[in-house]
Amino acid sequence: MVGLYPGTFDPITFGHIDIVMRASRIFSKIVVVIADNPNKKNLFSIEERLDFAKECLKDYPNVEVIKHKGLVIDAVEITQASAIIRGLRALSDFEYEFQMAFTNRQLNDKIDTVFLMTSARYTNLSSSMVKQLSQFGGNVDKYVSPIVAEALKKKFE
Ligand code: ADP
């Protein structure tokens, strides 16, 4: 069974990787889909986000990383995935995730969204938090892999 894990991944953090690790024990294959949305102001380009995710997930044999422009549900159909995977941290994620899951269900009722809870140590971790921390010279080694930490440092130099 293929699970599709969509997101912005700007940049990929240990929280995202934790979800992939958990999902890879449930699904036979995970497709990580990096949203290529030119309207969203991201720090890293689509190619950079793709490279980071590929590098960070290279040790998982059943994980593939792709980029995708357009609706998540289209990526589900292209990859023949059975479910969408999303991570949940705190209650604050719920409202948005609930809306997204219902919207996707309206587009294709056969596809369900599966929510996986992150490890306790990553409940306060987000890409935005990592970017802010790095921007002000904070150490992000606990939250992202060395290639991402290095790239963040360069961006804010
Ligand atoms: P999006 O813009 O689609 O929300 P993100 O890259 O911010 O993209 O997040 C992708 C998914 O990963 C979302 O389901 C989000 O809740 C989840 N996620 C982000 N950070 C964490 C974390 N620290 N632990 C668990 N899940 C996370």
pLDDT digits (tens, 9 = 90+) for 126-141: 999 999 999 999 999 9
pLDDT, tens digit, 9 for 90 and up, residues 103-118: 999 999 999 999 999 9
CB under 8 A, 24+ apart: contacts of 16-24: 16/53, 16/87, 17/56, 17/57, 17/145, 18/87, 18/118, 18/119, 18/122, 19/85, 19/87, 19/116, 19/118, 20/57, 20/60, 20/63, 21/60, 22/116, 23/85, 23/114, 23/116, 24/60, 24/62, 24/63
Is 0.75 surpassed by the pTM of this model?
yes
The rounded Å distance from CA 30 to ligand 1 centre is 15
Give residue ranges with CB within 6 A of ligand 1: 7-9, 13, 15-16, 18-19, 86-87, 89, 93, 118, 122, 125-127
